[in-house]
Amino acid sequence: MKKIVLAALLAWGVIGHMACSGGKKEIGDLKGGKNGKGGKEASEKPKYDRYWNDLARLLAGKERLAGSVLDSIDNGATAQQHRDFFKGSLWQQYRDYLKKVEAFAQAEFPEEHKSDRVMLYPFSGPDFITAHALFPNARKYVFWGLEPEGQLPNIREIPKDRLDHNLKSIQHSLRTIMRRSFFVTSEMGGDFRRAELNGSLPIILTFMAERGNEVLNVERIKINMNGELEPIGKDASYGMGTNDSLVTGMRYLFRRSEDAPVQELIYIVFDAQDFPAEKRFSRHTELIKWLRGLGRVSTYFKSGSYVIQWESTNTLRALITDITDFFFQDDTGLRYGQFDLNTWDITLYGNYVPPVPPFTTQFERPLAQAYATKKHPVKPVSFQMGYQQGRGEDRTSLIMARRKPAEPAAPAQDKPQEKKPAGK
């Protein structure tokens, strides 16, 4: 994955979009919506284009389904070599890792794990696979990062020699997350700028299929000036930059089975920072309105370059804190000192050690003291997560923060009745 030390790490140009097609049919209304009560975005009847599911399965090394619209590619040697990649020991080890992550969530926050509440993942990159292991039932996932959303590709138009290059680029990025548990933004840029399957799209599709989901549709979207999510069409020639005047992205519709609720992932691209001379985030009043319209959310931070702790993200951090009822994060999320302990119940996991370079200045002494003095419950963790990946399980630090129930309002006191003077 990931992310930013400065927004200038990524400078992507606008790329023309390729059309895709496939058999389409209506599917039922989305279940859920804003605050779990439906709403404009959730009540649309989206099209089911099986091209996207066939493509996701191909990218994830799954066997073709009967009637695949990608038969000529699915049956080729290049696709078979790609499937072989997913049979390797490294990928199997990663599946075992995800089982540990999911078992942890089931044991430590079962209510949130089962909930269909909106799940917010700032600075996520395309890391759907971890988010889904932790919060598999969210009706809506909201991701953002500096990695562009990508094109809408027609894989059937990619020459055979280029298809091999594209699939190997995906394999290279997958090896990164399997070894580190996060993506490196600059590395993803190198892989996908040179590929027709580019941006976060091919990785998100891969992860959706790997987690057993059926992908129903993918479309480009923007946040319009009314703070509403709006399709913009596959051939739109704008967007895909972190400093664009429009916030654009992709909307993915998927489900776990035919009788399961339709879920959605919104992936958007924008610069989350504000500076005295340039308000990059705050100028997007439409985005702020849309985020606040999500209702109550669960928020997850991992390998986020500590950006949410900086003064330049004060506005975004305050917004996220306002709408979040549950945080699960590594030490790159909110600083321990940014949690009001009158508002949040804290549980600590693992062990806190100094951050890895180049983030050594982000060491937080109050958090180290909270671990040492066991100011909050400190529990073991059986897996590694975040920037300490590969350095030993004793170096993983995770924080769970649950908003405390609101204090019940004091009952109103009846005013004593005035006594009337005698004789009146």
Confidence at residue 390, expressed as pLDDT on a 0 to 100 scale:
76
Q: How far apart are CA 398 and CA 385, in angstroms?
A: 8
Confidence at residue 127, expressed as pLDDT on a 0 to 100 scale:
94
Q: How far apart are CA 287 and CA 222, in angstroms?
A: 10
Confidence at residue 6, expressed as pLDDT on a 0 to 100 scale:
39
On the question of pLDDT at 39 being above 80, the answer is no
Reported confidence tier of residue 36, pLDDT bands at 50, 70, 90: very low
Interval 51-57 mean pLDDT = 98
Per-residue b or e along 16-33, where b marks 16 or more CB atoms closer than 10 Å to that residue's CB: ebbebebeeeebeebebb
Question: pLDDT for 289-322, tens place per residue?
Answer: 999 999 999 999 999 999 999 999 999 999 999 9
Question: pLDDT for 326-375, tens place per residue?
Answer: 999 999 999 999 999 999 999 999 999 999 999 999 999 999 999 999 99
On the question of pLDDT at 45 being above 70, the answer is no
Confidence at residue 333, expressed as pLDDT on a 0 to 100 scale:
98
Q: CA torsion, points 183, 187, 188, 189, in degrees to nearest 10?
A: 140
Q: In the chain, what percentage of residues exceed pLDDT 90?
A: 68
Full-model pTM: 0.85
Confidence at residue 16, expressed as pLDDT on a 0 to 100 scale:
28
Q: How far apart are CA 99 and CA 416, in angstroms?
A: 63
Other Cβ atoms within 10 Å of 105 Cβ, number: 18
Q: How far apart are CA 303 and CA 72, in angstroms?
A: 39
